[in-house]
Copies of this chain bind each other. A is one copy, B any other.
Amino acid sequence: MADATDDRLRLLIERIERLEEEKKGIADDIRDVYAEAKAVGYDPKIMRQIVRLRKMKPDDRSEMEAILDTYKAALGLG
């Protein structure tokens, strides 16, 4: 028995699955770019840090880095 309710759920699930596939495709593309970067000598892990930093608003980033420096100084992490 597959009534209207079943179909509604099925439709929602299928939309999600389609979107998940798309998302996976993009994620794979990202992975490829990092691999390509690594192949020409860049460090993927540090590139990820860069991406993270660039995501921040400049002022927030500056402030964060200033505090970080303070803490590092306090702990002898020069």
Contacts and interface: CB of A to CB of B under 8 A. Distances in A.
Nearest to A42: B9
**Chain A binding surface, main DSSP class:** helix
A5 B29 CA distance: 22
B16 A20 contact: no
Nearest to A51: B16
Nearest to A69: B46
Given A10-B75, A40-B8, A75-B13, A68 B49 contact: yes
A62 to B, nearest CB: 10
A17 B26 CA distance: 11
Interface in A24-53: 26-27, 29-30, 33-34, 36-37, 40, 42-43, 46-47, 49-51, 53
